[in-house]
A and B are shown apart, each in its own frame.
Chain A
Amino acid sequence: METMLFISDILLPALLEGLVITLQLIVAAAPFGFLLGIGIAVGRTYGGRATEFACKAFVTFIKGCPLLLLLFMLYFGLPSVGISFSPFVAAVIGFICCNAAYNSEYIRGALLSVKEGQMIAAQALGMTRTQAIRFIILPQALRRAIPGITNEFIYLIKYSSLAYMLTVIELAGAGKIVATKYFTYTETFLFVGLLYLGLVTITTVTADAIEKKYAVPGAMGR
């Protein structure tokens, strides 16, 4: 009975507060991570030499840098050169960079898989390269990148817990605080884990629906 009261009156309210912060982090980071990922992938695939180099350098840097280190640099390092962010903003910027860099690799692979003839046919109709990429190449590439982007979104859900290291009390952080205070590690982290599992399940189901909605009949292995 005591456990039930702990769960309903203390644990769940605290975790829900954390969950809201987690969702805010994801909602703030994911769209920009997606768009920036597209930009980087297009820049690397179709850009000039300078653009290609800049995009590749960015991706290499992000890939090579542990996310936690990146967050520390953004939050603790940048103030020394006069740039300070709130913990939440620093975390979101870190997540955007990470999400974008990995998304860009999935999207780049998909761009490269679109047959050359698609671009040729689009240009033969009078489209500029930009129009061809926007209306012909990207729609095909993004369909093929859906599984990869979904994967990266799921990673984002989970690495959003690193925001706790910048004092953003999100889901995992909220759990840690409750667990430590009431010495209830097992129950608390079980619930925290279930909530993450719920988020990931919703993501997977949604991604499947999106994939199905945009599937091209007869094509791409269907």
Chain B
Amino acid sequence: MHDDDYILKVEGISKSYGQIKVLDSVSFNVRKGETKVFIGPSGTGKSTLLRCINQLTEPEEGRVWLNGEEVTHSGSRINAFRQKMGMVFQNFYLFDHLTAVRNVEIALIKVRGMNPKAAREKALAELRQVGMEDWANHYPAELSGGQAQRVSIARALAMDPDVMLFDEPTSALDPELTREVLEVIKKLARDGMTMLVVTHEMGFATSVANEILFMEGGRIAEQGSPEELLNDPRFSRTKQFIGQFREYDRGA
């Protein structure tokens, strides 16, 4: 019953906090190598949606499948699924007491049971991918925000995920640092990584996305390719939303 084309299937996810329905039956499917970008006003459940996918937040309703296996209601196997769904957070959440390379290798050693030498090699290779190998022995507090975020991307990539979840990866960064992080994410997209990205970077969204999903009020209000959303008059709400950013950009 599940199309094998889809690496990730999300079906009818709902989540409420008290009276407020943050997610209202959200469904979508993701093909291997595809990049889906979620945009929309603050508080429309975009970040909650990502957390419901890897069950960091438990949805009240709805199901998620990764590679045809159900992630929801998977009990203790959730830890295996989470390894396969790398997550990058707005505030990096690097482990404060560990150097960059230790941040990347610790889950390889403790979760995957890799031997420390092989884990170190792999961690350094991942850091190289994001241009951070020269900073391997620095602690998070010694890194700029952009550098920290690139390390956190390397940390997620080290687990060889099937899909990457980016939760506003540049929202805590100034424009210059934003660029260095977006470059890394764009490169991942080119290399064929499957990605879900929540962002407010409209230029980035339109350049990297195979599909943009515009969320409002806990629902996917509109979705389509960047060209469709920008040119097709049906997608008025999205265009209006993106337009606000354009105006703001011009003004700045």
Contact = CB atoms under 8 A, between A and B. Distances in A.
Interface of A: 115, 117-118, 120-128, 131, 135-136, 139-140, 143, 216-220
A125 B82 contact: yes
Contacts of A118: 93, 95-96
B230 to A, nearest CB: 33
A100 B167 CA distance: 41
Interface string B137-169: 011111000000000100110010000000000
A136 B156 CA distance: 16
Interface centre among B85, B96, B139, by most chain A C-beta atoms within 10 angstroms, is: B96
B168 to A, nearest CB: 13
Interface stretch (B15-23, B103-111, B232-240): B103-111
B8 interface: no
Given A120-B93, A125-B159, A218 B82 contact: no
Contact of A127 (B54, B107, B156): B107
B111 A126 contact: yes
B111 A124 contact: no
Contacts of A127: 79, 107, 110-111
Interface string B64-108: 000000000000100111110111010101111100000000110
A121 B94 contact: yes
B80 A126 contact: yes
30 contacts: A115-B96, A117-B89, A117-B91, A117-B93, A120-B89, A120-B93, A121-B94, A122-B95, A122-B107, A123-B56, A124-B54, A124-B85, A124-B87, A124-B156, A125-B83, A125-B107, A125-B155, A126-B80, A126-B81, A126-B82, A126-B111, A127-B111, A128-B79, A131-B110, A131-B111, A136-B106, A140-B96, A216-B96, A216-B141, A218-B140
Nearest to A143: B97
B142 A125 contact: no
Given A120-B89, A126-B80, A135-B106, A219 B141 contact: yes
Interface of B: 54, 56, 76, 79-83, 85-87, 89, 91, 93-97, 106-107, 110-111, 138-142, 152, 155-156, 159
**Secondary structure call for the A interface:** helix
A215 B138 CA distance: 13
Given A125-B107, A135-B110, 8 more contacts: A118-B93, A122-B95, A124-B86, A125-B82, A125-B156, A216-B141, A218-B142, A220-B96
A128 B78 CA distance: 9
Nearest to B142: A218
B123 to A, nearest CB: 13
B115 to A, nearest CB: 16
A131 B79 CA distance: 11
